[in-house]
Structure 1
Amino acid sequence: MECEVVMTDGIPDPNGQKINGQDRPKKNQKRKRATSLAPEALGATTEEREARIELLSKELEGLFEYYKEVMEKKVVDLEMVAAKGANAVVAALMEERDLPLSKLVEEIYGEAKAMGVCGEGLLTVAAVKSTVLFVGQRMMYGVPNADADVLEDESDSCLWCWETRDLKLMPQGVRGVLNIRRTCRKRIHERITAVSGRVAFFAAIAL
């Protein structure tokens, strides 16, 4: 599987250029600082500012939809890691999930038990939690929120995603694809951050 992305003014396009080991995306142009928008924003009418906020909000909706579209495609085959040890199994069951830690641990334990990995007490709920925190990290790809609880927040706007710290725990055949998907998420996050920042800026000017 390949994730196809083209940066058009920083916006990922699923129908555009492929990203792979030989054809990497060009570096984004440096974005103008929010302060550069001040003269233009201050000179705009209320209707113009509201129109821009609406346009930017629609772009955000499109970015969220694209992110969810990408995340619907799962690439890790659990049968490929069933015999590779507890860490590999937990990593595979954790990869690209969006659940808070407590719910994630419960689901992974149940799924690992169904796979027979928990036999003879080899993998307990406490062990699953410890392994998740050891091999994984929860990344935020949505609207930045410094006050969010990284491990337990469930806000849809944050677009949480668990990722394995070391892709060597993943089957070799999917490591490249997972790297591409992470690149896609980072591109989307960059644009979401920029657009949401502009929305907040125009909204603040309107007050």
Structure 2
Amino acid sequence: MTIINKRNLFFLISVWLLSTLLPAQNVTISTPHTQLLLSAPNGGTPKQLYYGSRTSDADIRSICETARGRNAYPVYGMGYPCETTLSVRHADGNLTLQMAVAGVKETRLTEENATLTVIELKDKVYPFFVNICYKAWQDADVIETWTEIRHEEKKPVQLQQFASAYLPVRRGNVWLAHLSGAWANEGQLCQEALQPGMKVIKNTDGVRNSQSAHAEVMF
């Protein structure tokens, strides 16, 4: 019969529990009057926790501790029921993606008066990588976002669907504003309530994208 000291047993249990927890990293992206908060645990899923007016450090801690958040860049293939941002066909024909946080980098761009934050994602199985980039301009209250996609698979990978960004919007009295028009009637402001479902604003003019629909929207 083996006898285990209670103190040693508690130590073993504690070590096991700690080893299963992902080290959380909360990312704060700020302009003079706005703030974007994200959760980016190493090996986990990046989530958007808050976007709105700039708030206090105490409120940031409270949000990070209590908010469940929404996937910051949902991908196709592992049971995500809503619209996804990225869908690919791997070199072996598989359609599945499992993107996890591999790191977070922040760079101060002094000459541009901006801060660049990059959340690096890597697929859990394939050598497939996505960088979610956020550029916070300190003189314009603008957060610019885009994605960088690359892979190191042995054969070509087909991008079937890819979005520059994903912005979850809380349900409520949300209005969408955008510009549209026709020849000699360009730049007409359209405002409408944001309803459940999908709103598509499309322009096929190539480099001449100001005559019909503009690609910019405001909520």
- Same fold, TM exceeding 0.5? no
Q: TM-score, normalised by structure 1?
A: 0.25
Q: TM-score, normalised by structure 2?
A: 0.24
Higher Cα Rg, which structure: 2
Q: Which has the higher contact order (CA 8 A, sep 6+)?
A: 1
Structure 1 or 2: more strand by fraction: 2
